[in-house]
Structure 1
Amino acid sequence: MSGVFTYHNFSLQDTPSLEGQVAVVTGGQAGIGKEITAQLLLHGIEKVFIVARSKDKFNTAYDEWRVRKGIELGQDDSRVTFIKCDLGDIEDVYAAGKMIKLQTEYIHILICNAGLGIQKIAPLNTYGIDPIFTTNCIGHQILTTLLLPLLKRGTSNAPHGSRIVVASSSLHQLCRHLDLTSLTRPTNKWPALHDSVWRYARSKLANILFSKELTRRLAEDEDLAAKKVYVNSYFPGNVVTQQWQGWSEHLGRVIGAVIRWLGRMFGQSVEEAAATAVYLATSPEVSVRDERGGYYVPIAKVEEPTRLGRDEEIGRELWDWIDDRVAQTLGGLNS
C-alpha cells in the first residue's frame, strides 16, 4: 500500500547495478533494514556487512533472502557477512569497525539504519548517557569515523562516489531545544510516553545534525577523495515494524494495536520506506546534482528540517561532545 503522503521521485526498479561494490548496513537483518539489504542483493552488490545484535534474526532474514526471487544466495554465502554489534556499547562498536576493516579494503555504501524506537527504557546506561541517544547517534558516529578511510578509498572505483545514509525521522520536529548536558541526566518528563517520544525525537534530530556536520568536515578535508563521499539523512516513512510495539507498552495493547493499524492504512510500505535509502545510497542523480547534507522524505524528496536541524553551531558542538565522550571511554578513535 502506498502512503497517503508519498512523493514518487524514485523507483526501486531504477536502482543501478551495484556489481563490485561493498556495503555496510546497520540493523540490516530486520524491518526496513532487511528490505534495504534485499534491494542491494537484488541489484548485484558484491558484499554486504550486516551490523546487528541478533544472530538469530540475521539467520531468519538470510533464509528469507535466499528464497526471494532474483536473489541468488548459497548456504553461508560470503556475499553477506554478519558482524555482531550492540550500537549502544561503545567498545562493541569499536570492535565491529575494526573487524570490518580486517575483511575489506574499501566500502562504497554505509547505511546507518539501526536504532531504538519509542520504548520504555532505563534512564541512563553504563556510560551515564541516554541509551536511545547512544544507540541511535553515538554508535553510528563511531562506526562512521572508523570506516571513513575505507569509504574514501571506495571512491577510486565507484562511478558516482561513496555514500553515507543516516536514518532520521519526522519526529525530529518535536525536539526544539538540544541541551548537551541533558544527555547525561535523566529527563523524567511526564507522562512516560512524553519522555520516550522526546528522547527518540532528540536522537533523530541529532542524526540530521550528524550528517550535516560530517558533510561540512568532508568539504574541508584536504583529501580529494573526501569530495566524492556524499552524506545525507532521510525519514523512511511511517512503517509498522517491531519498534511500533512500543506504543502498546505505553498506551496499552488495544490502543497500540489501533495505532499500528492506522500506520498500515496510511503509512508507507516497507518497499517505499527502503526506497529513499536506496536512492541516496546508489542513484547517480545524487552525485550529478551534488546532493550533500540533505534531509529526504519518502520517496527521495528533499525537505528542510527544523531550524535546529539546520544549526551548524550545535552540529559542531554535538560532534565534539560525542568525540569527547568516546575519548573518555576508548582513549580516542584510531583508524
Structure 2
Amino acid sequence: MSGIFTYHNFSLQDTPSLKGQIAVVTGGQAGIGKEITTQLLLHGIEKVIIVSRSENKFNTAYEEWRGRNGIDLGERDDRVIFVKCDLGDIEDVYAAAQQIKKLTEYIHILVCNAGLGIQPITPLNTYGIDPIFTTNCIGHQILTTLLLPLLKRATSTSPTGTARIVVSSSSLHQLCRTLNLSHLTRPTRKWPAIYDSVWRYARSKLGNILFTKELSRRLLEDEDPASKMVYVNSYFPGNVVTQQWQGWSEHLGSWIGACIRWLGKRFGQSVEEAAATAVYLAASPEVSEMDSRGQYYVPIAKVKEPTRLGRDEVLGRQLWDWIDDRVARTLGENWQSGK
C-alpha cells in the first residue's frame, strides 16, 4: 500500500551497497526503526549497533531478521549488537556512548529514530524537564555530540567519503508555533489533555528539526575538514501505524483510537515507505552530490520547508546552548569531550 500523499523519489531497491560500513540506530528494534535496520542488513552493512531500552524487543527483532530472506545472520552474530539505553536518562545516554566507543572506532551512519510518541500527561522528570522533550531531543543531542568524533573518522573509510546523521521528525512540528525555552521546565497544562500531549510531541519534533539545522551549521563552520563531510538531515517518516499510535486510545478511548489507527493504515504510508527516506539520507550518493545539509524531508526523499519557527537559526542556537547547559548540570562543564 502507498500513502496518498507520498512522493516517489527513491526506491529501497536503489540503495547502494553498504559493505564495510557501521551504523548506529536508536530504537532500531521496533516499528520504523526495525525496518530501517532490516534495510541496512539487506544491503550489506557490516555492523548495526541498536540503542534501545528493551532487550526483549531486540531479541524478538533479532529472530525476525534471522528469518528474513536476504539477511545472513547467525545466532548471536555480532553483526547486530544491542546497547541498552534510556534516552530520557542523561547519565544513561552518556554511558551508552562510552560503550559504543568501545565497540567501534568508526560510525558511518547514525540514525536518531527512537522517541516517545503522543501519550498521557506525565510529570516533569528527575531533571525537571518535560520527559518527551528529554527523550526525543536532549538524549539524541547528547548521543550525537559524543559520537561525532567517530563519524568524522569514518569519512576517511567511507566509499562516498562522507558520514551521515539522520534525525526523525514529524509533520506535527507544524502545530508548535511558539517555543519558549523556559517552558520546557514547566508543566504545560493545555486543555484538553489530548491537545496537551499532541502539542508536547509537536514541540519535540520541532526541536529535532532545529537540532538538525544547528548541527549542520556547526559542522560547516568547524575548522576540521572531516566535519564538512558529515551530512545531517531530518525527515518525516509518514503516517505509519506503530505501537506509538496506542496513545490515541489512551486519550480518546479504544473505539476512537481504533478508528484513527484504521485511517492511518488506510491512507498513511507502509513501514517500507516510512523507512525509505531514512535509508536514502543514510546511503544515497545524491545527498552529498546535491550538498543536502540541514534539510527536512517528507516521504519519499522529497525536500520540504519546515515552518518558519523550524527555520529560525537564532532559536536553533539558543536551543542547542540551552540543552548544553542543562546537560552540564548533570555531566559537568566539559561533557562534550566525553572525558
For the criterion TM > 0.5, the same-fold answer is yes
CA separation in 2, counterparts of 1:56 and 1:188?
34
Tell me, yes or no, if structure 1 residue 118 matches structure 2 residue 121.
Answer: no
What's the CA shift string for 1:161-195, capped at 9, x where partnerless?
A: 10000000000000000000000010011111011
The residue correspondences of 1:2-151 to structure 2 (distance < 5 A) are: 2-151=2-151
Equivalence for 1:201: 202
Equivalence for 2:224: 223
Tell me the SS of whatever aligns to 1:111.
strand
CA separation in 2, counterparts of 1:32 and 1:53?
16
Q: Check conservation: 1:18, 1:43, Cα contact below 8 A.
A: yes
Equivalence for 2:336: 333
Equivalence for 1:290: 291
CA separation in 1, counterparts of 2:71 and 2:326?
41
- Equivalent pairs, count: 335
Tell me the SS of whatever aligns to 1:333.
helix
Q: Shift of the alpha carbon at 1:123? A: 2.5
With normalisation by structure 2, the TM-score equals 0.98
CA separation in 1, counterparts of 2:257 and 2:6?
24
Q: Shift of the alpha carbon at 1:159? A: 2.3
CA separation in 2, counterparts of 1:140 and 1:13?
29
What's the CA shift string for 1:195-220, capped at 9, x where partnerless?
A: 10000000000000000000000011
With normalisation by structure 1, the TM-score equals 0.99
CA separation in 1, counterparts of 2:197 and 2:94?
27
Q: Check conservation: 2:121, 2:193, Cα contact below 8 A.
A: no
For 2:87, the aligned partner's letter is: L
CA separation in 2, counterparts of 1:238 and 1:123?
28
Tell me the SS of whatever aligns to 1:239.
coil
The residue correspondences of 1:281-320 to structure 2 (distance < 5 A) are: 281-320=282-321
Equivalence for 1:183: 184
CA separation in 2, counterparts of 1:151 and 1:58?
24
Tell me, yes or no, if structure 1 residue 232 matches structure 2 residue 227.
Answer: no
For structure 2, the residue ranges without an aligned partner over 5 or more in a row are none
For 2:191, the aligned partner's letter is: W
CA separation in 1, counterparts of 2:324 and 2:30?
29
Percent identity reads: 81
For 2:18, the aligned partner's letter is: L
CA separation in 1, counterparts of 2:11 and 2:92?
36
Q: Shift of the alpha carbon at 1:157? A: 1.0
Q: Check conservation: 1:2, 1:272, Cα contact below 8 A.
A: yes
For 1:224, the aligned partner's letter is: P
- Tell me which stretches of 4 or more aligned residues in structure 1 moved more than 2 Å: 332-335
CA separation in 2, counterparts of 1:254 and 1:101?
46
Equivalence for 1:170: 171
Q: Check conservation: 2:121, 2:196, Cα contact below 8 A.
A: no
The worse-fitting range, judged by mean Cα deviation, of 143-152 and 154-163 is 154-163
Q: Check conservation: 1:296, 1:302, Cα contact below 8 A.
A: yes
Q: Shift of the alpha carbon at 1:127? A: 0.4
Q: Check conservation: 1:24, 1:49, Cα contact below 8 A.
A: yes
Equivalence for 1:252: 253
For 1:125, the aligned partner's letter is: N
Q: Shift of the alpha carbon at 1:31? A: 0.1
The worse-fitting range, judged by mean Cα deviation, of 311-320 and 153-162 is 153-162
Tell me the SS of whatever aligns to 2:81.
strand
For 1:231, the aligned partner's letter is: V
Tell me the SS of whatever aligns to 2:166.
strand
For 1:334, the aligned partner's letter is: S
Say what the alpha-carbon RMSD is for the aligned residues.
0.5
Q: Check conservation: 1:123, 1:187, Cα contact below 8 A.
A: no
Tell me the SS of whatever aligns to 1:107.
coil
For structure 1, the residue ranges without an aligned partner over 5 or more in a row are none
Tell me, yes or no, if structure 1 residue 321 matches structure 2 residue 290.
Answer: no
For 1:333, the aligned partner's letter is: Q
